Amino acid sequence: MIGAAIVLAFGATISLAQANPPKSTKRIPVTKEAAGEVARVDTLIRTDTVTVTNYRTDTLFRTVHRVDTVVVQPPPPPIHLPNGFYIGAAGGTSMPTGSLFTPNSMGYIGQGHIGWQNAKQVIGGRISGTYTGLGQDSRFSALQGDRAQLWTLSTDLKLQAPLGRVFGRTPRLNLYGIGGWTYTWYRNLPFELNDFDDATGVRLFSTGDNSWNGRNGWSAGGGLSLLWGRSEVFVESRVMGFRPNDFFVNDLDRQIRADYGYQVPIVFGFNWY
């Protein structure tokens, strides 16, 4: 019991001393950081885990420039006819006259040709072929049947008078005359016969033949042309004449000659040199 009392007394003394510690009378100096001193900086790194639930698809375009070596062939040279030569075509209307006038009416004509003549050359030549389809006269259509058809081959001499550049630097205006020999094939062609009865006033006509017939003839005419570079346009009119075959009349028991028949075409055409 005495020992226990001593322990309790000693523990109470220690507790009192801790509750009331002794105070020091000496000051402790506190100073600020000296100039030039660097405060320490602590870096904190935080790692977060983020889950992305939306997906986006971007399309990227890339332009690539590529240089290839290409061999370019020169263009083919233009086709030109020999100096002065030309080919051409024309079309228009054809008026029958002479022995063809009464039983036929105006028709159409097409023409193709080849020739030789320089722009400033006075004398030239041309070979042409034409096809003519004449109309029917109302008084002869019932007897005539099919329309009259004519093919004509012409070999002509062409005389040209250059008028110069009347419209400025280009084109050239030319006046020309043309004429020569022709040969005409025809069928279903009615024509007037060279026979007239003064007493009765009767005129005789042939209603035409379905077979082809051919006769020599001639042509003469003229035109105007405009020429620039290797191209030429023209307007032309000619008279192409021939005399149809003689016709035998059974009632008169004699052969009757036919008068000359003529085509008078007016055509517009184009020439290429």
DSSP assignment string, 108-147: EEEEEEEEE--TT-SEEEEEEEEEEEEEE-TTTHHHH-SP
Per DSSP bridges, beta strands 172-187 and 261-272 are unpaired
If you average pLDDT over residues 117-138, what whole number do you get? 91
Q: CA-based angle 147:151:155, to the nearest 5? A: 155
Give per-residue pLDDT as tens, 149-175: 999 999 999 999 988 887 767 788 999
Specify the pLDDT at position 209: 83
Specify the pLDDT at position 164: 80
- The proportion of the chain whose per-residue pLDDT surpasses 90, expressed as a percent, equals 42
d(C-alpha 206, C-alpha 100), whole Å: 10
d(C-alpha 233, C-alpha 240), whole Å: 22
Per DSSP bridges, beta strands 172-187 and 191-197 are unpaired
Specify the pLDDT at position 58: 61
Mean pLDDT of the chain: 79
| Residue 6 DSSP one-character state | H
Q: Which residue has the higher pLDDT, 180 or 34?
A: 180
**pLDDT beyond 80 at 54:** no
| Residue 74 structure tokens | 């020169």
Chain centroid offset of residue 145 CA: 42
Domains of the chain listed by start with CATH number = 88-272 (2.40.160.20)
Specify the pLDDT at position 129: 98
Q: Which residue has the higher pLDDT, 50 or 195?
A: 195
| Residue 18 DSSP one-character state | H
Give per-residue pLDDT as tens, 3-38: 655 656 565 555 555 555 555 555 656 555 555 555
**pLDDT beyond 90 at 90:** yes
Burial call 107-136: b when 16+ CB within 10 Å, e when fewer: bebbbebebbbebeeeebebebebbbebbb
Specify the pLDDT at position 181: 97
Specify the pLDDT at position 159: 95
Specify the pLDDT at position 208: 82
